[in-house]
A and B are shown apart, each in its own frame.
Chain A
Amino acid sequence: MKKDSSLLAWGLLFPTLLVLGCFVIYPALQSFVLSFQDVEPFSKQSFFIGFENYMVLFRSPDYWQSLRVTFFFLVMTVIPSLLLSLAIAITLDANPFFQNFLRTLFLLPVAISSSMAAMLWIFIYNPTAGFLNYILDVMGIQGPNWLADPDYALVAIAVATVWKEIGFNIIFFLAGLTAIPTELKEAAELDGASPRQRLFYVVLPLLSPTLFFVSVVSVINSLQSFGQIHILTAGGPMGESTTLVYNLYRDAFVKFRTGLASSEAVVLFILIMGATVFQFRMAKKRVHYG
């Protein structure tokens, strides 16, 4: 009987383990190995070169630029999208008129992929015929050529990204807010707490697990952004929107520098893990589960 069930178990697990082995575990280890190798682009012959790829990487000003770009992009997407979606979710939860309609509207971008979101914004940013510069013009401001200006390209991508991401965050915040018992808010109100006090001492602490989850996911998503960058600027102008992932894509699949790109993949993996672990550490002090 027991032997029977263990045979069945391995049988049921077989497709899962086969696919994970082939397409997740093997390639993850292989990336690590390749990062210590020099791979010839055409013959695919490879030679062990130790830490050479990593040295090249960290000596390259372009790579440092992409680290900086990735960090700015992270700050410009995660913080605004968290604050805006939290504010919108709290207001939506306060039972406004047309609540269902408004909720649908805010959640809608969830159904739109990052590349399609980029297509929606691309014409808005058009320097001559786009609506954004028209509005700025009406206000007497000369708008830049958003996507071609090194100072503004990354901001423009970040705005389109935030536009797309907040719907996803609002879903979680709304779920978290509905889970807060109304009696708690009412009790605080009866005790004479002002709306602000209720927000900061009742609602936000109870929402902190959701806030934590959403921020972890947002950071990971931001670090992995690709589609909108590829559509809007293709990493330009002058590398000012080349993030780590974009750099990796170009090194691996445009320049065919397999070994170097693999070392970038390893660094990216460490950074994502590091950011996640860091947030878990921070959360230990501040998140209230209860």
Chain B
Amino acid sequence: MSGSLAARDLSVRYETPHGSVYALRHVDIEAHPGEVIGIVGESGCGKSTLVTALANLLPANARIDGSISYNGVDLAKLDAHRQRLLRGDEIALVSQDPMTAFNPVLTIGDQLVDFQHHRKDLGRAQKRARIAAMLGRVGIADAERRMDCYPHELSGGMRQRVAIAAALLTDPGLLIADEPTTALDVTMEAQIIHLLRELRREYNGIVIVVSHHLGVIAELCDRVYVMYAGEVVEDGEVDAIFHDARHPYTQALLACDPARFQERLDRLPTIPGSLPNLTQPPSGCVYAPRCDRAFAPCGSVVPPRVKLSASHIARCHAVTP
């Protein structure tokens, strides 16, 4: 079963001894079955908070406002027990760091059997058979033997494959891959991207890929949300974002991607300034303090949603359709 996902006016704040941290503010996200959604932004932009909220895994000090509707159900209003029943059944998360994502003292097979706990109709032997088949599908040779390995006996790339297999085993309607390649070297990264591209052809649910790596997003996604300091600043089809970016932040981000340079530079470009303090987010545009096109209203007025095409939206005073 798969349905559409829509987050409306979603805000998350963390209550800390030093005050509230407004990690996510007024975010709108939409995704439909069969779509691969990319979420991109630098470290600290709130992309992990966003997917953690979608997976109902926020820590106890997080307060959530707005709605996350999945399949017509508001996930944010479910009680903890019903949220838990969705996790590992309808919603699956491929964790960030394959090196630490698995329990070090249990075998891979043992953990993957447990992760299928929602499938009460299957016995242990059937669950193991599914694991072996799925491990084979994500490109792990000798799957039967690998199941009896402990995580530290597998390489990083192999563990990331196991993490993807684990998520796919649960047949989720919503698959979230949080930085699926960040902890891997370049060769491994290419292999995992290749694997994800292959898998998306057979998979009908929603995939959300989070990355700060523009290349990963460009390779995998249909639509992209660009985030900055807890807000979505621009979103659109992958081509529109990569070839016709309109928000100054997206443009600056693309300009800083070393993979896109034509020639060798002595000095890599950066965006001057740093992220605003999220305990007191700016009242106008969050990017204004670092923006070279900022003018009078940017500091005090929330930027409008400028519709550039049916699916391309930028939130900026300086952008006109």
The finding on whether chains A and B are genuine partners in a shared complex, rather than unrelated, reads no
Residues of chain A at the chain B interface (Cβ within 8 Å): none
B residues neighboring A (CB under 8 Å): none
